[in-house]
Amino acid sequence: MSTWQRWVFLFTLSALLASFLANTIFFCLFNLYNQDIYVRNSIKKVSVHAENVLPEDQWLEFLYKKTHVKFSHGISIKEACRMDNCFDYTLCQSEFKVYVYPLSPKQANLSLTYQKILTALHNSKLLTSDPYEACIFIPSLDTLDRDRLSPHFGQYIAHELVNLPFWNSLPRRDLDQYAGRNHLIFNLHAGTWPYYHEDEYRLWLGQAMLAKASFSTKYFRPKFDISLPLIHSQHPLQSGSSQLDQLVSSEHLRGRLDLPYLLSFKVVFFFYL
């Protein structure tokens, strides 16, 4: 190989190596840029729904920082709330009345079951439109399903609940600051996959009473909370005559239905594709 041929060969090899190195550096920088954009977008997405993925203690701190609401902690849901230390009887001296908060603009997708509960309350003779006459306060916020994987979870409910007009201060009791006092919260499902902790509501309940399905003796507060059956969404708003009613009222079974215990079963299925 002559001298000029060697120089041509070295020049060509150097050009190929330089092109390869330039392409490699460009590819690495391009990937780093895309990765940075992806991470930034992921952080934004996580921050929007952070209250749905944080552990319970961190979630409470996050909610406080996000809403800037000065919570009146009062007595925790896990502590021994009773009617004599978590309920104000002075609001019930004249007549027993129930106040249902107006629907929130953010609560547009009420579950069918909670719609029926609110309808039943609005049809009750105990209902009052004046909160200063009320003994019990019931939010129109749908708290039945507190599984964050559920489509009815409602990510804004926690914020809306603590900002209810009388959540932290009852009418005529401005000096008493107890979050949730004289309020009744309905719940059928709590916790999320994989553990489904019974007390994981992702709500600041304060001293509110719970009307809840699937209570355990660990969290049920006797003579304060209300144990509910698991209500199906197709359950009728009003009971009527049916084959079951006729069967229960029959002379043949009347003596057999006088049993001391009622057994029920609850299960939740999720399918992941």
- Residues 42 and 169 grouped into a single domain: no
* Tokens, residue 232: 């199906």
- Residues 123 and 25 grouped into a single domain: no
Residue 247 counted as domain residue: no
CA angle at 162 for the pair 232 and 89, rounded to the nearest 5° = 85
Residue 35 counted as domain residue: yes
Q: What is the pLDDT of residue 233?
A: 66
Calculate mean pLDDT across residues 203-232.
85
Q: What is the pLDDT of residue 219?
A: 84
Residue 256 counted as domain residue: no
Strand residues in the chain grouped as ranges (E): 98-100, 136-138, 184-187, 209-213, 226-228
Pairing verdict, β 98-100 and 226-228? unpaired
- Residues 176 and 88 grouped into a single domain: yes
- Residues 122 and 199 grouped into a single domain: yes
Q: What's the maximum distance between 2 C-alpha atoms anywhere in the chain?
A: 118
* Residues 52-87 as b or e (16 or more Cβ within 10 Å = b): eebeeeebbebbeeeeeeebbebbebeeebeeeebb
- Residues 130 and 224 grouped into a single domain: yes
Residue 251 counted as domain residue: no
Residue 252 counted as domain residue: no
- Residues 36 and 160 grouped into a single domain: no
Q: What backbone torsions phi and psi does residue 182 show, to the nearest 5 degrees?
A: 65, 15
- Residues 44 and 127 grouped into a single domain: no
Residue 270 counted as domain residue: no
Q: State the pLDDT confidence band at 209, using cuts at 50, 70 and 90.
A: very high
- Residues 125 and 143 grouped into a single domain: yes
Q: Is the pTM of this model over 0.85?
A: no
DSSP state of 255: T
- Residues 141 and 32 grouped into a single domain: no
Q: What backbone torsions phi and psi does residue 183 show, to the nearest 5 degrees?
A: -105, 145
Contact assessment for residue 134 and residue 171, using Cβ atoms and an 8 Å cutoff: yes
Q: Looking at 33, 48, 63, which one is the last position of a domain?
A: 48
Q: What is the pLDDT of residue 154?
A: 75
- Residues 17 and 121 grouped into a single domain: no
- Residues 85 and 219 grouped into a single domain: yes
- Residues 140 and 230 grouped into a single domain: yes
Number of separate domains in the chain? 2
Euclidean distance between CA atoms 80 and 71, whole angstroms: 19
For residue 187, what are the domain limits?
A: 53-236
Contact assessment for residue 136 and residue 182, using Cβ atoms and an 8 Å cutoff: yes
Residue 147 counted as domain residue: yes
Residue 22 counted as domain residue: yes
Q: What is the pLDDT of residue 256?
A: 56
106-165 per-position pLDDT tens digit: 776 788 899 999 999 999 999 999 999 999 999 999 888 887 777 777 778 888 888 999
- Better-scored residue on pLDDT, 143 or 13: 143
